[in-house]
């Protein structure tokens, strides 16, 4: 994955966030005037940024290289 730390994290973009010391990849969204992180899988509930405590948007994902 290529992450650009110079891009502004805006709603609609996939971001790398640090949540309680662990990295996570989620879509940044605005819902009812508040920012939240949404998972691609519907089993994971969205995380409201104001309610998350220690969260930092680390960068914006811009490209994925699939073969491992």
Domain boundaries, the chain: 2-63
Task: Fill in the DSSP letter of residue 52.
Answer: S
Taking alpha carbons only, the member of 57, 61, 66 closest to residue 2 is 61
Quickly name the fold that domain 2-63 has. Umud Fragment, subunit A (2.10.109)
For residue 58, is pLDDT > 90?
yes
Q: Which residues pair with 64 in a beta bridge?
A: none
pLDDT tens, 8-43? 999 999 999 998 889 999 999 999 999 999 999 999
Q: What is the pTM of this model?
A: 0.86
């Amino acid at each position: 994955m290529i992450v650009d730390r110079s891009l502004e994290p805006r709603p609609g973009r996939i971001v790398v966030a640090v949540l309680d010391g662990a990295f996570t990849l989620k879509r940044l969204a605005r819902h009812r005037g508040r920012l939240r992180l949404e998972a691609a899988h519907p089993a994971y509930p969205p995380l409201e940024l104001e309610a998350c405590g220690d969260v930092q948007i680390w960068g914006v994902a811009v490209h994925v290289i699939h073969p491992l």
